[in-house]
Copies of this chain bind each other. A is one copy, B any other.
Amino acid sequence: MPKTVLVVYAHPESTSLTCQFVRETIQKLVQRGHTILQSDLYGMGWKAIFDESDFPNRINKNRLDFIQESENAYATDQQTLDIATEQRKLLAADIVIFHFPLWWYGMPAILKGWIDRVYAYGFAYGYKGEGNRYRYGDGILKGKRAILSVMVGGPAEDYAPRGINGPLDELLFPITHGALFFPGFDVLPTHAVYGTGKLEITAAKKEFAVWRSRLEHIFNEAPIPFRRQNSGDYQGGILSDHICSGKSGQSIHIDN
């Protein structure tokens, strides 16, 4: 069945590996009959910085409270056009694919600024005006999928389970769990390409092929089994004692 795919990407150079991956994604998914929406953040001149100009009609002109103004702008349909447009794309999408280079163990600022601004109160958090009632597996984006496709300059060994940078999945947990699972996405395991600083053409072609074949199953493969807040596993904000007893940290929030 044809689906709608949103591709969000963050690299200004059309010949970069990131942009080559974007083209592979689009070509493959169009071929399979899907509809593509795009957010080319550099190409769009995306505004990264969340500030007062995001609230043309302030509730409180004396003091800028981001949550209060975001809630009001979203609820009263007074958001800026760029933010509202991205939210509509998210609502239209069955899957969102993020393509970006890993910069200092995270997203480029332009992509972080997409999260900061598009994730309004009432939309990505404070859903239905009910604080934290709907989050981590529940929320406005429930039923949709998301995946990170990350270009990593350094070698894979530095990101291995005992690698010096820390494991890639742990470094990306604030994004996969914190930014994607939070508003309801089913998050697929991250697709990483390592050593992109020195990737030869032959190696790059192999990576494209691996990605293209992964794309064939992207609507069927199992998401990361993050625990849902409202599954009964949590008491308040804390994982119940009988689950992963005596353990702590990120890993206990994955039901492996």
Contact = CB atoms under 8 A, between A and B. Distances in A.
Interface string A102-113: 011111111011
Interface of A: 12-13, 15-16, 42, 48-52, 63-65, 67, 103-110, 112-113, 115-116, 119, 132, 136, 153-155, 157-158, 160-167, 170-171, 173-175, 177-179, 197, 229, 234, 236-239, 247-253
A177 B105 CA distance: 10
User: For the complex formed by this chain, how many copies does it contain in all?
Assistant: 2
Contact of A179 (B48, B65, B105): B105
Contacts of A165: 178, 237
B136 A164 contact: yes
Contacts of A108: 49-50, 112, 116
Given A104-B178, A178-B104, A155 B237 contact: yes
A51 B101 CA distance: 13
B109 A164 contact: no
